[in-house]
Chains A and B, each alone.
Chain A
Amino acid sequence: MPLIDGCIHPWPAGDSSLRRMALTARELGFDQVVAAGGSGDVPGVLRGTIISAPSVKEVVSALQGIPRGEGVVMVTSGDLAFNRGVIGLRGVRVLRGLFKSPRGAFNHVAAREAEARGVAVELDLAPIVEGRGVQRQKVIARYRELLDLHRRYYFPFTLASNARSVLAQRSVRDIVLLARLFGMEEDEVTGALSSLDTILAGRSPVQVVPG
C-alpha cells in the first residue's frame, strides 16, 4: 500500500516548489503526496482541492466547478450540522481542520456517516510540530477523542504534514513518533497514511475476508 502525505502546500502558497517537495517526500519515505496548489505534472503527486466555505450550499456550488473524480477534494470542517452535510456530498473525500472546530463538531453520528460514505478525517500534524504549550495540548487532546471514535466506528483517517516548505515535511518514522503522542499505534499510522489509496480506488476501508 502506498504511503501518502495527506496534504502539502507548494509554491506560491509556500516557499518550496512542487517538484522539490515531491523529491523530499520520496527521501522521507513517502510514495505519494497530495498537493493543494503548485504547477507542473510531477510523478507521485495527487492533485488536491481545498474548499473552505461557511455553508454546505456554498460547498455544493464549489464542488460543481470540479470535474468528478478529479483529485482529492478536501473540505474545511465547521460545526456538527455543517460536517454532517458535507460528509453526505458526493465527491468529498476528506474533512480537514477538525482541531479548529468547536467541541462536538464530529460525534458518533458523523463518525458512522463518514465510515459509510468513505470520507476520511484529516489529522493535521503541523500544529503538533509547530505549536507549543496549551495550543498543542488542545490539539493532542482533540486527536485522542477522534482516535477513540475511529476505533469504535472505523471511519478512515489521513495524516497530513500540511507543509508549506520542505523544512516542515516530516519522515514516515517521525510521523509514527508524533502520532504516538495521541495514542496512535504504528499499524494505525500506516493505515492512515495509505487510506487515500483505498478511498480513491472506491474500495471500502473495511473488507470482509472469507475465513
Chain B
Amino acid sequence: MTQLPSQRERRRYILARFEPEGLSPDPREVYAAVAEACTALWGDAAASEISPSVMAGEGHAIIRCKRGTEDRLATAIATVTRIGAERAALRTITTSGTLHAIRGRMHPKAEILWERKVGIGGRVFLARGFSGQKVDLVEKGIKGQELLFFADEDGEVR
C-alpha cells in the first residue's frame, strides 16, 4: 500500500564532491566509508537513526539520511579519509529536502585539460591538469599508485 506524501518519513539529501578530481568510486565502497565514519563517530544506535544511504555518480555522491540527522551525517562525512583502498575526501556542497534541488547543484565531472610526463626527485610522474590551476601527479609503481597535488605555477610541473 502506498503512503501519502505527507505520511512518508522525511528525508534529507547531502550532495558531496569527491576529491581527488576525477575519482568515481563504486557506490558500495562510498556507502561502506560513510557507514564506518558514522558508526565510529556516533556509535551504532545513532548511526541506525541517521540511516545513511548512498547514490554515487560521476564525481559526486548523494547521501540520504533521516531529517534532523543531517548535521551529524555531515560531521561524519568530514571524517572520511579513505574510500575503499584510495585516499579520498568527501566535500559537502549542499543539503536539501529533495533530490530535484540536489541534482540542480551537481557540476559535470572535472575534465583533464592536459597530460604530460614530469620528473620530480628522479621519479617520473604523469601530470594531469584540471581547471582552477590544479595539477595532479600520478606515479604508477610496483607498490601501487602515488598521488601528488600541485598547481600550474609550481616549478616542479612546468
Contact = CB atoms under 8 A, between A and B. Distances in A.
Interface of A: 11, 15-17, 19-21, 23, 27-28, 40, 128-130, 132-133, 136, 165-171, 173-174, 177-178, 180-181
Contact of B149 (A27, A166, A177, A178): A166
Interface string B71-97: 100110011010000011101100000
B153 interface: yes
Contacts, number: 80
Residue in A21, A40, A174, A178 with the greatest tally of chain B CB atoms within 10 Å: A174
B94 to A, nearest CB: 10
A167 B150 contact: no
A177 B81 contact: no
B111 to A, nearest CB: 17
Given A165-B87, A167-B87, A170-B78, A177 B150 contact: no
A169 B81 CA distance: 10
A19 B155 CA distance: 11
B149 to A, nearest CB: 4
A28 B92 CA distance: 10
Give the top 7 A-B pairs by smallest Cβ distance, nearest first.
Answer: A19-B151, A16-B149, A174-B78, A177-B75, A17-B150, A20-B151, A167-B89
A173 B148 CA distance: 25
Contacts of A129: 78-79, 81
Given A17-B149, A174-B74, 5 more contacts: A11-B148, A16-B148, A16-B149, A19-B150, A20-B150
